[in-house]
Structure 1
């Protein structure tokens, strides 16, 4: 039994409006990531030095851009991608602020990275062991 909307014209209009809002948001994220990456590169050129923290920051921007690309291609966002970004951000935090962190803050950040890595492994195991089925009609993933 399928649920049909009571007002199909309104449902189509709202669906289209949400699609445009979604595309606008993705475009804004893309432009912001490109600008931020450009600013970071310009700063490295200006200072004539590249640090590991700079490279990790650029990696975060690239991950954000690839996340937008994957979302545009598939219409779905793999949960692992934000987890990867969070791990790199925590690693960058550890590298930049290591001298200012207490022992417990250092341990907490390290444990957070381990928890995120375990979550990625668990999600990956779940996808391999219990894969999603692709609908023949729509070509999209079904849960």
Structure 2
């Protein structure tokens, strides 16, 4: 077998293996997204059921539902675009920190230094969303 023929066979097999590998990765990708999406829905339903059994919802409970909503939106965006929506992660972090502040105030009925640090973290995350909101244009590099 000459080297040119060997190279053609090698390229054909490499192409087939790459196609199968890409297919398996795509199957795993969609399966993982469906599992994550189902887990978010399941967790949201369980949280909502707990609120119904409790007979009321606190502001912390409502913020938790917003976290589930953002997680679901993030899964949907990732499913459609194959791009991780970083802003969604930041929004989730802001909501979780706001929930932490509210829970702390409800538990201790006073504002401490911890609340100042959490508020500073929320401000920093809000600034981060503004910074990453619009990617720089190509003209800014020239």
What's the TM-score once normalised by structure 1's chain length? 0.78
Name the structure where helix makes up a greater proportion of residues: 2
Equivalent residues in 2 for 1:32-71, closer than 5 Å: 32-71=39-78
Q: How far apart are the structure 1 equivalents of 2:26 and 2:82?
A: 11
Post-superposition shift, 1:94? 1.1
Segment drifting more, 91-100 vs 66-75: 91-100
Q: Paired residue for 2:130? A: 121
Segment drifting more, 112-121 vs 93-102: 93-102
**Bigger CA radius of gyration:** 2
Equivalent residues in 2 for 1:1-143, closer than 5 Å: 7-98=14-105, 99=107, 103-124=112-133, 126-127=134-135, 129-130=136-137
Task: Give the structure, 1 or 2, with the largest relative contact order (CA under 8 Å, sep 6 or more).
Answer: 2
Pairs aligned (count): 124
The alignment yields a C-alpha RMSD, in angstroms, of 2.0
Q: How far apart are the structure 2 equivalents of 1:29 and 1:123?
A: 25
Q: Secondary structure at the match of 1:76?
A: coil
What's the TM-score once normalised by structure 2's chain length? 0.78
Post-superposition shift, 1:9? 2.0
Query: Once the two structures are superposed, what CA deviation does each residue of 1:96-130 show, in whole Å capped at 9, x if it has no partner?
Result: 12345983322221111111100000011x33x42
Gaps of 5+ in 2: 1-10
Q: How far apart are the structure 1 equivalents of 2:137 and 2:101?
A: 35
